[in-house]
Chains A and B, each alone.
Chain A
Amino acid sequence: MSEILDLIAGLLVVTGCVFVLAGGIGALRMPDFYTRIHGASLTDSLGPVLVLGGLMVNAGLTLISVKLAAVMLLLMVTSPTATYALANAALLAGLKPEGVEHDTTEPEKPA
């Protein structure tokens, strides 16, 4: 039984890590702000949930799990809110998505 739980926990954590990494790569490699926020925000919700879920499975039904659940809940609430507000602010301030005004190129690399 405990091996199965460990396996599930490991699987959840590793899957979560894949999402987390994907989000990081997305935020770095995507061509403009809106695609970047798309890449970062979705994985920012799923990745932590999976990782924390894996840790909860690992910890079993204890106070630790309750705390982990609180962290998870908080992240699930705050992360999308922040993303929404950020995208909204960017749009209101007049930041245009790439390709609307000009063609898709890599953002210029600073020195």
Chain B
Amino acid sequence: MLLVAAIAILVTMALALTRALLGPSVYDRVLAVNMFGTKTVLLITVMAFMMGRTDFLDLALAYALINFIGVMAVLWFVQESSLRQQTQNPARDDSGNDAQ
């Protein structure tokens, strides 16, 4: 059971990583990072059970908190930089799109 869960989570992590690599927009990457963070929390939990060290669930809690703060910081950054771009040259507003 735990092994199945671990494998499923690992595969999902790989998929999320692929999305982060492909992009194409900034928001896709943020989405991928957020997904990746959630999966990390899950994997830590599952691995804690697999190792028999359930006292390490605190770590999962810490990861969840940090992940949330990270995503918030990213959004703050995106918002602020698009605000800057708008004040610098109001004509452009496709700032979110940075297709490679």
User: A residues within 8 A CB of B82?
Assistant: 92-93
Cβ contacts under 8 Å, A110 to chain B: 22-24, 100
Q: How far is the CA of A24 from the CA of B11 in the complex (A)?
A: 8
Residues of chain A having any CB pair with chain B under 8 Å: 9-10, 13-14, 16-18, 20-21, 23-25, 27-28, 33, 36-37, 40, 44, 47-48, 51-52, 54-55, 58-59, 64, 67-68, 70-71, 74-75, 78-79, 81-83, 85-86, 89-90, 92-95, 107-110
- Residues 11-49 of B contacting A (Cβ, < 8 Å): 11-16, 18-19, 22-25, 27-28, 30-32, 34-35, 38-39, 41-42, 45-46, 49
Contact of A24 with B96 at beta-carbon distance under 8 Å, contacts A17-B9, A68-B45 already known? no
Main secondary structure of the interface of B (DSSP, over half): helix
A86 vs B27: C-alpha distance in the bound complex, in angstroms? 7
Q: Which residue of B lies closest to A26 (CB)?
A: B15
Shortest distance in angstroms between B86's beta carbon and chain A's nearest beta carbon?
Answer: 9
Cβ B24 vs Cβ A71 within 8 A: no
Q: In terms of DSSP, what is the predominant structure of the interface of chain A?
A: helix
* CB <8 Å contact, A75 and B15: no
Number of interface residues of B (CB under 8 A): 54
Chain B residues near A109: list those with CB within 8 A: 22
Report the bound CA distance from A17 to B9 in whole Å: 7
Also in contact, A28 and B54, with CB within 8 A (given A16-B5, A68-B45, A85-B75): no
